[in-house]
């Protein structure tokens, strides 16, 4: 009877541990669902309210998750600046642009606090999941440079992981409190124009540069 009880106990223990083992095996991002699910890119794009002919900078574009969505939104008469410090990521964007025959995407390799874009050259800047990756001392100079790039009346769309233990992608200590994001933008001279609350893991703020 004792042996049977131990066997049953082990079976129960294995059953309890199995979900945790599966979670570890697939990784935290996979366990939380695909990016399409939690990012809601179509809804985000709709809330950007872009139109044909606009010039948009995708700063910290990575390998172009939003870049080509932005390009579709601004149409053939617009332009998207794909901006990143990572040459390898930009090469991936360039190859996609060639494969898709998208001529309106311009590749720009930036520096830590310098987008290397002309002043007042963008109607909007899209900054998604970038600032928490930037060293703290570089965040304010980068935001100030983004403001320089914006045309008067232009918008900064800022998305970044909220500081929450529910965010599975980065350590809690690395994430930026919402009030710090607000202070960065207000100190750079931007005005909070709107805030969207439907994203599971991200703060989504729309900022406007004074006309």
What are the angstrom distances between the C-alpha of 175 and each of 21, 148, 166? 26, 25, 11
Q: Which residue has the higher pLDDT, 195 or 4?
A: 195
Give the mean pLDDT of 52-70.
Answer: 98
pLDDT of residue 33: 76
Give the mean pLDDT of 142-158.
Answer: 98
Q: In whole numbers, what is the pLDDT of the chain averaged over residues?
A: 89
HEC string of 10-73? HHHHHHHHHHHHHHHHHCHHHHCCCHHHHHCHHHHHHHHCCCCCCEEEEECCCCCCCHHHHHHH
pLDDT of residue 32: 58
First to last CA, the chain: 82
* CB of 50 closer than 8 Å to CB of 73: yes
Is the pLDDT at 141 greater than 90? The verdict is: yes
Alpha-carbon span 147 to 143, nearest angstrom: 6
Q: What is the pLDDT of residues 162-191, one digit of tens each?
A: 999 999 999 999 999 999 999 999 999 999
pLDDT of residue 180: 98
Instruction: Report, in angstroms and rounded to the nearest whole number, the Rg of the chain calculated over CA atoms.
Output: 21
Q: What is the pLDDT of residues 97-112, one digit of tens each?
A: 999 999 999 999 999 9
- pTM of this structure: 0.85
Is the pLDDT at 1 greater than 50? The verdict is: no
Task: Record the tokens describing residue 24, joined without a space.
Answer: 């570890």
């Amino acid at each position: 009877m004792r042996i049977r009880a131990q066997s049953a106990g082990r079976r129960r223990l294995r059953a309890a541990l199995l979900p945790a083992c599966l979670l570890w095996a697939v990784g935290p991002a996979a366990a939380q669902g695909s990016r399409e699910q939690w990012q809601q890119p179509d809804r985000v794009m709709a809330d950007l309210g872009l139109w044909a002919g606009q010039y948009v900078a995708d700063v910290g574009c990575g390998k172009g998750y939003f870049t080509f969505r932005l390009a579709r939104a601004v149409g053939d008469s617009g332009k998207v600046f794909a901006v990143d410090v990572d040459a390898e990521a930009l090469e991936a964007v360039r190859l996609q642009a060639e494969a898709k025959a998208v001529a309106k995407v311009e590749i720009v390799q930036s520096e830590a606090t310098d987008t290397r874009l002309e002043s007042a050259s963008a109607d909007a800047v899209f900054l998604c999941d970038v600032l928490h990756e930037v060293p703290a001392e570089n965040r304010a100079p980068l935001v100030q440079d983004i403001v320089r790039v914006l045309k008067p009346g232009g918008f900064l769309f800022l998305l970044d992981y909220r500081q929450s233990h529910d965010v599975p992608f980065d350590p809690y200590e690395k994430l930026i409190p919402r009030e710090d994001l607000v202070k960065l933008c207000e100190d750079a001279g931007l005005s909070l124009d709107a805030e969207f609350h439907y994203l599971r893991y991200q703060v989504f703020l729309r900022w406007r540069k004074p006309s």
